Structure 1
Amino acid sequence: MNRPGRVRATLVVLAGSIALASCASADTSAVTGGAGASSDDIVITYNSPAEWGNYGEVLAAFTQSTGIQAPNDPKNSGQALAALQAEKSAPVADVAYAGIAFGQQLVEAGVLQAYEPAGSAEVPADLRDSDGNWTAVHTGTVAFIVNTDHLDGAPVPTSWADLLDPAYSGMVGYLDPTQAAVGYSAATAANIALGGDLHDWAPGLDYLAALKENGASTSAQTATAKVAQGEIPILIDTDFNGYKLRDEGADVEVVIPEEGSLQIPYIVGLVAGSPHADNGQALLDFYFSDEGQQLFAEGYMRPVVGDVPQEIAERTLPAEDYERAATIDYVEQGEVQQDFIQLYEEEVGF
């Protein structure tokens, strides 16, 4: 299918306000303090689901260390951006977390302020905002999370091509790439692995359309619980969520597809006008402390400074599998995101 001029500079970066505004979560139940918490003893962080990686343990450890309540929040990256924009005149959140593709959109929207967390000085320059608005805190890799108990006798898929087999009809899911950073990263990974690039989405869109025809589903929120339950036997997500499910007793395998995959940096930043800025800064400092980085690593998130601890590396796929995971120009990935969203809605949609 010929799609000349798919990615046009004039469409670049609309700050997510059009496509994502309708996705904002109005649910504030997850951002209220615990019993007895005062307004000064809380930090609100957007996009920190307890089941995402090790975020539940990270925030609990921060509270234990500081006495500051740090509730988890169920938003995804797009919903966090939309909420921050809607609340810009009266901010609710103190800290934001998102996939790096949203970094420039957060900056363009003016919802972050400069802050360099203690311990983050060694983060590579290409994984931080030049003005200090955000810093990558860890990375993951796009992978298949496969519940081997619910494949109805089919083998564990090892490639993007495998997922189009009728044997996996109705079994595959991924997060909505118009809302969630990991969904957009999964779409990017498939596109690059199948011969596309950030200026040619044809291979990826053709693939996702075929995946839809084979019964694939999309979710707006983190869907790992559906993998454990067998509701989505094969989830295209991050490797670290798969390892966590395995450690929790689910019979799952993590697969980095044979054709290739993508590394995904995740970023954190201090919200502009943060109502509890000191607490927000303390939380960001904790993320980059030895304890914080160790806790993220225990959730199989790869640190951006230093190596994966040996005891963690021994419980993951071999290093050669990760050699198939590409790195890209993540700023450019963010710049072309709105173009991708428009094309995805027109040609795939759900």
Structure 2
Amino acid sequence: MKVTRLVLALLALCVVAPWQPAKAADVICYNCPPEWADWASMLKAIKTDLGYDIPHDNKNSGQALAQILAEKSNPVGDIGYFGVTFGMKAKAQDALDAYKPANWDQVPAGLKDADGYWTTIHSGTLGLFVNKDALGGKPVPACWKDLLKPDYKGMVGYLDPSSAAVGYVGAVAVNLALGGSQSNFDPALAFFKDLRKNEPIVPKQTSYARVVSGEIPILFDYDFNAYRAKYAEKGNFEFVIPCEGSVIFPYVVGLVKNAPDKDKAKKVIDYLLSDKGQAIWTNAYLRPARPIELPDAVKNKFLPDSDYARAKSVNWGDMETAQKAFVDRYLSEVR
């Protein structure tokens, strides 16, 4: 009878207090989504080589920064991954601690904060990620202005430029390609107003799977996502650098201020810039931050250099300064 009562008591305890894992995540990285930039492979490699569990996190740059700021008095995250303009904002809002990782000196000066608050780990070229099978026989668009044609009604997607870094990069790319400047975003705003007639799809999160499924036939996105689909997914996918031109954009990491697992987070950031870490990025069709050549097997899968000549490097510090004014106008005039 005593044994029976003990067993029943233990069963009751299990109902009241369900089993909890013995160990939580080793490191929290905000905005490390598995379908973006092949973070899935990177996090798996970190687990293998460092033994650290890092959960997938499907935020965008703006959402990651917002959460870090909301938790500032009691930090939860350890690492933030951002488009470079949001890395700049994170530093300006005192959301990061300075840290110069191993190989930091090999990252070009324009791709890192001089004090180490953020460091580029890779970059991509913005263009059009196209699911050819989902176009219904229509031609693959070659230019930004092609997207305004009625043929592409309901087929074009771009991430929300008021929240996602890639959304703002798309706006910058369109604006510069169509004759705008840091102080004049009229061309981009006119473009998005015209595009609204074609009923675009405007998600906030990375939408790789929605292009692969055909839900979004044409998406403003980076070369690395399009090449991943082209060479790893079933279907017919293309990457287009629009005829009017585009831009190159860096992605950065920073150590969250007062991160709870700071020492482990530093080792993870070191790993991202290590020889092996940078090689993982190249295998995912990303340009490494350090001056490492793309392997021929990867390089041969890219568009020709003549196409990439249309993609320009810009001063993202200037564009970060211009971002708020653009977002305010976008929200009032377009969305």
Question: Are residues 1:63 and 2:47 paired?
Answer: yes
Distance in 1 of aligned mates of 2:63 and 2:308: 30
Please show how residues 117-266 of structure 1 align to structure 2 within 5 Å: 117-249=101-233, 250-266=235-251
For 1:78-93, list aligned pairs within 5 A: 78-93=62-77
Mapped pair 1:271 → 2:262: no
Residues of 1 paired with 2:103 and 2:88: CA distance?
Answer: 23
The structure 1 segments of at least 4 consecutive aligned residues displaced by more than 4 Å after TM superposition are none
Shift of 1:36: 5.1
Which among 280, 283, 286 is matched to residue 295 of structure 1? 280
- 8 Å CA contact 1:115, 1:270 repeated in 2: yes
Aligned residue in 1 for 2:310: 324
One-letter code of the match for 1:300? Answer: Y
Give the C-alpha shift of residue 301 in structure 1: 0.9
TM-aligned CA deviation for residue 69 of structure 1: 0.6
Task: Give the whole-Å Cα distance in 2 for the aligned partners of 1:153 and 1:203.
Answer: 30
The aligned residue for residue 8 of structure 2 is none
1:153–1:319 Cα change, 3 Å: same
Q: Which sections of structure 2, spanning at least 5 residues, go unmatched?
A: 1-19
* Equivalent-residue separation in structure 2 for 1:141 and 1:260 (angstroms): 11
**What residue is the counterpart of 2:301 in the other structure?**
315
Q: Is the 8 A contact 2:82 2:251 kept in 1?
A: yes
- 1 or 2, which has the higher helix percentage? 2
What is the distance in 2 between the residues matched to 1:142 and 1:54?
A: 16
Match of 1:20 in 2: none
**Which letter maps to 1:100?**
V
After TM superposition, the score normalised by the length of structure 2 is 0.92
Q: Is the 8 A contact 1:54 1:298 kept in 2?
A: no
CA deviations 1:133-186 (Å, max 9, x no partner) are 000111101110111111111111010011111111110001000010000000
Percentage identity across paired residues of the two chains: 44
Deviations 1:38-79 (A, max 9, x none): 35x601001110000110000110011111111111010000
- Alignment equivalent of 1:47, drawn from 19, 23, 31: 31
Alignment RMSD (CA, Å): 1.2
**2:55 partner letter:** P
Unaligned runs of 5+ in 1: 1-34
Give the 3-state SS of the residue equivalent to 2:277 in structure 1: helix
CA contact (8 A) 1:176 1:183 kept: yes
**Does the 8 Å CA contact 1:94/1:276 hold for their aligned counterparts?**
yes
SS at match of 1:311: helix
The count of aligned residue pairs is 314
- How far the C-alpha of 1:103 sits from its partner, in A, is 2.0
SS in structure 1 opposite 2:58? coil
- Distance of 1:200 and 1:122 partners within structure 2: 35
Give the match for residue 336 of structure 1.
322
In 1, distance between residues paired with 2:31 and 2:164? Answer: 10
Which of the two has higher C-alpha Rg?
2
Kept in 1: contact 2:30–2:80 (CA 8 A): yes
What's 1:10 paired with?
none
* 3-state SS of 1:140 partner: strand
Distance of 2:146 and 2:239 partners within structure 1: 15
Determine the C-alpha separation between the residues in 2 that align with 1:244 and 1:194: 28
Q: For 1:297, what is the secondary structure of its paired residue?
A: helix
Q: What is the CA–CA distance in structure 2 between the aligned matches of 1:68 and 1:102, rounded to whole Å?
A: 26
- 1:284 correspondence with 2:269: yes
Find the aligned partners of 1:67 and 1:48 in 2 and give their Cα distance: 17
Separation in 2, partners of 1:183, 1:328 = 16
